[in-house]
Every structure is written in structure tokens, then in C-alpha cells.
Structure 1
């Protein structure tokens, strides 16, 4: 009887030993890991910034962080061991404002943010027309124009519009700025503009006073009110209605782009992110990436605001957002539970135009109008003063601005005072939406349980957004949702 019992114990022991061997256990009882990274500078980002030497990973989870000696206990026969040679290892980065699709370059004309003078830009863009075999009448779309660097004018090319006309008068040309807010166009592109009804109405000095008067602050003009090529913010959509598709190179689809985005995020150490502008189309592309098994990060999608300015249409837009959120509720990697709202624009203007193109972002107290002097060629070009809008000369302009549109009178004014009569007109910038719309959108999307992410760059938009955030903070807390601002520069 005892002999049979001993045999039973031996069988059980052998079975347990086999199970242990199959599960990868080591002689000291620790489970062998799939991967051990050793000889590394492991920055743990804990409360005291502990630095370790090794990390063990099993079945996709970190099971050990500590010394190289201790990590050896996790090395089994099938464990992959990587000696990092002292390289740094750190937790994944959580990027809460990124345009992930913009991190990879589509195959199209791209200036790569080079600071080119207008003269130097012309042959580069002519080469693009040739390289991409763009037919007469077809658009030349150009990415990553460095709006804030280079662009020095010449006697022959006084502004970007003239430079783009020198590239071609047979192709409409559109340059997307590398900040996502500025752009530039040639004369043919301005001639193809469309109004809110989809009708072709050229953008010129006259239509900027009538049909497109609301867009006047977003379009750079010369002393006579004619466009000089600069087109910013919503005014860009008058020329290119689907700007996001242009900037992301979506015209050829995203099937090839999305795996490249996943690789880029992995190479950059980004393991979770909030994409700050997501449309239903790009959300579907993320979903397809997840289904392919190639998605290397977790995504919070910040869905873009409605194109309408009507508060009455916010509710129907939220219904669309809610349906998208519900569609991805069971996703392991995608959360479509945030919204993005543009409250204002940007602060960069253009001092190289005459008169200077002012920033668009809204300021509570308005902008000072700069007076420039010196030469671009010898590097002495700089601000030499500011226009005093309270001086009698400016008061006269403010009372009758149209009286100073005559070219001869304008030239005489500049010769006498050193600045343009238009610079007497106070400029406060603009909000991207009516203030009441901004407030209602923040309130309604918060009530609907969305994280709210607001582009607010200057003090007026920041004040409005923060004020409304404060009013709905209790509601956001009940939902467990966040309130955040992006790009705050002047507040």
C-alpha cells in the first residue's frame, strides 16, 4: 500500500516538473521571460527617477525592472537577450497633441521647410511640375512651405503671388504652410475661388470688399487691396475645400500611409497619442490599421468641429460624434471620445509685404502696427517704431478709409509718414468662431461626455475657453473627461 502511494507521489512530482519545464520556469523558480533587455540605462520615471539596468518582458508585459544580475533569473533557454550597450530605455511616450498622419511624407511636391528666397523657390517648383508630370490646368499642390523663413522678395518678385505666377500661369498653385495655418497661392488659384454656395468668384480687391469681406483679415493684400498670395486659416478653403486631404496626401488613399505612421510612432517611442484632428475618414483609416494587426499605439481621436457656425446644428453634429464613439467602444486601441475646437488662429504675420500682413489670432487689446526700416539685403531690416492710431493723421484715415485708396494719395501718405494709411485702422485679430458658438460647443460636448481639446493661442480665445471650462468643470468631472488647451502663446 505504501509502495503504491510512493509511486503515486513520484508520478505527481514528475508531472509538475514537466509542467514547470513547459512553462519556461528556471531553476530558482522564477518564470523565464520572452525577452530580457540588459546593460541599459533604464529611466523608470518613477517618483524618484530611479535608474535600473535591465527589463524582462513576458507575454507582452513587463515582469521585472532592476539590476542586470537579478534579471539573469528571467533568462531561460528560449529567452531572447539583448545587450543594449548602455543605451537609454524608457517608458513609452504619451503624446497628447500630434497630427500622426503628418509625420510621414506622401509622394508629392514638398519644400521640406527650406528657407528659400522667392527667386530660389521658382525653379524648385517648376521642377515639381516636371517631376510629377502635372498637366496644364491641373493643380500643383505643395507641402511644407516655410512661411516664416526665407521668402525674401526681389525687384522682379515683390511677393509670393508674383513668385508663384513666375512658376506657372497655366497651373493653379497652392502652397501649404508647414504650421498647418498659413498658405500661399498664385493668380490662377485666386481666380478659381468658390464662395459658400460653391459658385466660382475670383478673390480680388473688389470681392474682398464684398463677397469675401469676412475673409479679408486672413488674406494678405498690397497697398491697393489686391491679394499678394498669402492665404491663412479658413480662407484657404475658398481655394482648396478639402485641405486636410491635401496636407496628408490623402488623394491616393491611406492604405500605404497608415503602416508607415505605425512604424514612425514605434521608432519615436510613442505608445499612446491624441490625434488632434480626426475626421470620419481618417478615423476609419485608423480602424483599418488596427484590424490589420499593425497598429503600434493606442489612440484617442479628437474629432473635428462641424463646418457650420450655427449653434442650432451642434446637437446634430454631436449625434454624429456619438455614433463614431459607439462604433469604436469595443476597440482595444482606439477611443473616439474627444473633440477638437479651433477658437482662434495664429500669431505670425508677414513683415515683408507692403503693408505688413498682420497676425490673425484674436487679442483683447489689439495689435500694434509696426513700422519697418532698413534693408533685407544687408540684414539691417527691423522694427523702427509703431503707428500711433490716436494721432490726428490716423483719425482722419479712420473717419474716411476709402479716401486713401487712391494710389497717388497713398504714395504721398507713405512718403510723408513712413507707413501705410491702412495701418491706422485698429486690428484685433479674429476668433475662428463666434464667441457664443465656442461657449456652446464646449458646453454641449462636455455634457455629451467628450474630452474637449481647444486650439487657443492668444489671450481672447484663451479667456473664453478657460471661462467656459470653469463653468462646466463639474460636468466634466462627473464624466471623468479632460479639458485642455493647445498652443497657448500669449495669455
Structure 2
């Protein structure tokens, strides 16, 4: 056999799952692609003198590289390099970490980071006085874990020009003291975003590059070989392009360019120009389909349920079973305080979908509440009415509450459900800040993954990291059990919506590859790009899942291969 015909890498000694019900024993990789899949005996001849042979010794599982369909890698990486609160729990733990960071970084003009959880503060809203006591002389800006609000000190409020007289914008809210009316230190949605964009100093190009590389290293360690970045700014796009051009971007990244909700259709020309700019960058792995691909547009259509900015058809409840007062000016598409916020009016959303679809863009819509999901589906329907069927693979992310009558429309309109499975569990934010304000009927309509799949909807999976864990194995366990892996004695959250282990894995590999327009990834078969993960445990083994257990999160990644290169090894 000629040297050129030998494998560069041979992965053997573990079960290989190439798809539901399809099993092999070994995978050979050559030139960044999968050269062969078969038994150990069949592929043994492909091992030459320069072939790296990885023998799992009869243990473990090989699956396609995981793809995250909704993640915020640059922002997560930046916080990991600065003030990272995600791994802490409780008000005092946060304050201790902030104080220590301020003490050890005396020359930083701003204290920036995030990751605090709403559940540790009354009403989910921390106060400025806590920050003022430990950092009185420098501005502090800390996004919460879901990045829909921020905790700031008095210095930041002063620099942003926010006082008790500052009105709430249409797309956000300033928390105020009920007695004095003064801003208390928590700002939501558009208020937080504008402070971040216009008051907090912008990271340099080098800082963004370092943040992406930090996130990439972490994600590769979890078996993730590609992702869709759901918030690409001009600055993070430039950093991605630099990393792709010089070969440091080893993941395949689909970039979702951020739709500015303060602008209208005129911004589409700018988005086209940004896409064209990216096409000039040819990464070393371009022929393999890797690199950076900003061919998606991200549109935020509403907020979140925990702060009552997610758009609902009926008003939020008062927490005791009744409905709160609705804004007198509310309409089905409006900004009524009782029914959440609509960030892009339905008429504009439909027009934007039509133009973006005609321009060949994929549209990635954030929709949490049932009214937001309905509006997003209507927009896709309007685009199809104008343009006819397309191959753009539009999708709706989060889909927390869906009216039963809208379930079938996903498949009818060929809309992909971009699911954040880890959220579908009992935990304080769900049980204390969400369910009481939805009421029993709407609470039972949350995260209907099984119903969507049964109706013919294609599912993709994304973490929304750093909102919650980036670990696909933890997310997959929740998709299968609807229970927190750290509290397996908890009751299952709406168990009729559980997925099978095959359905969940397919969504996090082939499903996410599909929504990321990656037709060379998400599968293990000859000719596909060699994105592979070796787990230390065969989570499909019936003995592993016996007695109703599915401890998928207990498995560990041993090896991650992206485009034929080993990018992580335990």
C-alpha cells in the first residue's frame, strides 16, 4: 500500500455511532476527512508507519463532533479572562469575588464581567449599594447569566446619565426603588445593551482574539468542533476573520450578524457588505468547510420570562394565579407592560425576513414567549409568500412557550427549532421566577421538544453559553430526562416532552450541523470532514442506562478531533 493511502489517524477500540442504529468499530482519517468506517479488522490495513493509532481498549464511544447551534463564545471568553461569576453561587460569593478582582487589578479602569444568577437576589434584582461598598471609585458593569440584564454601581449609572428621572426606553427597563424612584442598580435589556455598547470601553482586536481562543480551547475540551455564534458584532467578526486567516480558528464557526433593532431595513446593505468582506478571507481549512461563515442574521424579537420582557399573548400572572394588569396601550404586537416586549414590530420583522431571505441570508430569531414565537413563524410565512421556498434554513431559538396551535407550523414552514435543552428542568429560576408568573396552563407549554419532533420539526441544539453550561453531555442528559444532572432526585420537568437518547444526540450533531449550513459535518461516513469525539463511556450501552437511569453527564471527553487534527486530548 502506498504511503498516500495510509490513514493519518486511526481511531479504534470503541463503539462508533455514525447514526441512529448504525454502529462500527473503527474510523480512519486522511487529509482532514473520514477515509473509512468499518470493523477493526477491515481498517487495520490502513495503519502505516506514520499513522497515529488511538486504541480505546474496548471502552468508550465515538460520535461526530458536537456542534453548538447557539453560543456566545467571544463574550464568554472575555468574561473567563476577566471577572467570571458563572461558577459561583450566592450573593456573598459574588461580592467576595468582585472585591478580590478589584483588589488584584488596581489599574483596570472598569470592572467588567458577568455570570451572576437572578435567583440569589430578591426579585432577581441586585442593588448598587453592594457594589458601591466594595468598588466605590471605579465603574462596575456585570451582565447577568442570561445576558438580558446587568448589575451596575453608582459610578456606572452616573457615567451612563441614568437617574430617577430617566424614562424607560421601549426595549428595556431600569429597576427603581419603590419609595424614592431612584435607579437601584439593575438595568434590563436595551438599557444594559446600550451601556455595554456606548459607555463600557470596547475591547481591542487583540483582546477579542484572545477571548475567542480561550473559548475555543474550552469548547474543544467538551467535544465541540463547531458552533453558531449568535451575536457577531463588527469587532468580533474582525477577530474571527483574523483567526481564520492565520489558522488559529480550528473550529468551524457560523456567524450570526447582529440585527440592530434601533434601525430598519436600511441596515441590510451593511450586512451584505460584512458578508462580502468575510468571503475574501480564505482559511487554511476552507476546502474542508471549516473557518468562519457569517451568512446568518440574528434578530431578537423579545426578551425573557424571568424579567417579564418575553412577549406573551396574555398578561403575566401576579404570582398567585391571577393575571397582572395589562398596559392600556397593549396590542397584539405592542409593548404592553403586562404582556412583555416586542423588539421588532411584526410588520418590520416580516419585511426583514423577506429581504434577508431573498438576499440569501439565514435568519436566526430569538423568541421566548408564545407571542414572539407566533410572530416569528408569521414572518417566515410572509417571506415564503413573497420568495417561495428557500434553502436558507431559518430557525427560531429558545422556543420556551409555544401555543399548541403553532407546533405544527414549524414543519409546515420548514422552520428549525433551535433548542436550549438544559433550561427544561426544575431549578430556582424556573420554579420561583417563571412558573408562578405564567400560570399552570402556559407553564405546561414550555420547551415542547417531543411535540415539535413528533410534528415533523427538525431540531438543533445549542447551549447559549455562558448563560448556562456549554457541556453537551449535561445538556443531552436534561433533554433525555428533563432533570438537572446535579440533582437527579428532582422530579422530571414536563416528562412527556423528553427526547430519546438517539433523538437528542442526532439533534446535537447532525441537527446542529444542518442549521449551521455545515453539510460536511455532523456525521461519520467516508468523505465527511473528520470531526470526531471519543467519550470514555458508551452512553448507549443498555447496562449504562438500566433501571431508568441516563447519567449521560457522567461521561467524559477523552479526545476531540476537528478537521482531522487533534484539538483536545485528556
> For the residues of structure 1 that align with 2:324 and 2:196, how far apart are their CA atoms?
38
Q: Is the radius of gyration larger for structure 1 or structure 2? A: 1
Partner residue, 1:342? 300
Partner residue, 2:273? 320
Partner residue, 2:155? 188
Alpha-carbon distance change, 310 to 56 in structure 1, aligned in 2, over 3 angstroms: closer
Partner residue, 1:24? 3
* TM-score between the two structures when normalised by the length of structure 1: 0.70
Alpha-carbon distance change, 103 to 129 in structure 1, aligned in 2, over 3 angstroms: closer
Partner residue, 2:127? 160
> For the residues of structure 2 that align with 1:257 and 1:188, how far apart are their CA atoms?
26
Partner residue, 2:518? none
SS of residue paired to 2:356:
helix
Alpha-carbon distance change, 55 to 242 in structure 1, aligned in 2, over 3 angstroms: farther
SS of residue paired to 2:84:
coil
Kindly report the root-mean-square deviation, in angstroms, between the aligned alpha carbons of the 2 structures: 3.1
Partner residue, 1:445? 356
Alpha-carbon distance change, 41 to 102 in structure 1, aligned in 2, over 3 angstroms: farther
2:288 counterpart of 1:368:
no
> For the residues of structure 2 that align with 1:191 and 1:456, how far apart are their CA atoms?
33
Displacement after TM superposition at 1:466 (Å)? 0.4
1:396-411 residue pairs with structure 2 within 5 A? none
Displacement after TM superposition at 1:456 (Å)? 0.9
Partner residue, 1:221? 176
Displacement after TM superposition at 1:99 (Å)? 1.8
Partner residue, 1:149? 119
Q: Is the 8 A contact 2:85 2:115 kept in 1?
A: yes
1:405-447 deviation line (CA, Å, top 9, x unaligned): xxxxxxxxxxxxxxxxxxxx96121112333332222222112
> For the residues of structure 2 that align with 1:129 and 1:304, how far apart are their CA atoms?
32
Tell me which of 93, 116, 120 is aligned to 2:66.
Answer: 93
> For the residues of structure 2 that align with 1:308 and 1:325, how far apart are their CA atoms?
24
> For the residues of structure 2 that align with 1:171 and 1:42, how far apart are their CA atoms?
54
1:278-318 deviation line (CA, Å, top 9, x unaligned): 1222222222112222322222211111353344x244434
> For the residues of structure 1 that align with 2:224 and 2:369, how far apart are their CA atoms?
29
* TM-score between the two structures when normalised by the length of structure 2: 0.61
> For the residues of structure 2 that align with 1:389 and 1:181, how far apart are their CA atoms?
23
1:17-50 deviation line (CA, Å, top 9, x unaligned): xxx5xx238xxxxx432222111121111xx422
Q: Is the 8 A contact 2:245 2:282 kept in 1?
A: no
Displacement after TM superposition at 1:336 (Å)? 2.1
2:14 counterpart of 1:44:
no
SS of residue paired to 2:3:
coil
Q: Is the 8 A contact 2:75 2:211 kept in 1?
A: no
Partner residue, 2:220? 266
Partner residue, 2:514? none
SS of residue paired to 1:254:
helix
Partner residue, 1:171? 138
> For the residues of structure 2 that align with 1:187 and 1:172, how far apart are their CA atoms?
8
Partner residue, 1:460? 371
Alpha-carbon distance change, 68 to 336 in structure 1, aligned in 2, over 3 angstroms: same
SS of residue paired to 1:114:
coil
Q: Which runs of 4+ in 1 moved over 4 A?
A: 242-246, 249-252, 328-332, 384-390, 474-479
Alpha-carbon distance change, 481 to 329 in structure 1, aligned in 2, over 3 angstroms: farther
SS of residue paired to 1:53:
strand
> For the residues of structure 2 that align with 1:87 and 1:245, how far apart are their CA atoms?
46
Alpha-carbon distance change, 165 to 261 in structure 1, aligned in 2, over 3 angstroms: closer
Structure 1: state its 5+ residue gaps: 1-19, 26-30, 194-201, 350-358, 371-383, 399-424
Structure 2: state its 5+ residue gaps: 329-335, 403-570
- More relative contact order, 1 or 2 (CA 8 Å, 6+ apart): 2
How many aligned positions are there?
387
SS of residue paired to 1:438:
helix
Displacement after TM superposition at 1:130 (Å)? 0.9
> For the residues of structure 1 that align with 2:259 and 2:122, how far apart are their CA atoms?
36
Q: Is the 8 A contact 2:350 2:382 kept in 1?
A: no
Displacement after TM superposition at 1:182 (Å)? 1.7
> For the residues of structure 2 that align with 1:81 and 1:481, how far apart are their CA atoms?
39
SS of residue paired to 2:196:
coil
Q: Is the 8 A contact 1:123 1:167 kept in 2?
A: no
Tell me which of 205, 230, 233 is aligned to 2:189.
Answer: 233
Q: Is the 8 A contact 1:174 1:184 kept in 2?
A: yes
Tell me which of 148, 160, 166 is aligned to 1:207.
Answer: 166
Alpha-carbon distance change, 103 to 162 in structure 1, aligned in 2, over 3 angstroms: closer
2:34 counterpart of 1:80:
no
2:7 counterpart of 1:33:
yes
1:120-142 deviation line (CA, Å, top 9, x unaligned): 5434322221111146xx33223
Alpha-carbon distance change, 306 to 429 in structure 1, aligned in 2, over 3 angstroms: same
Partner residue, 2:232? 278
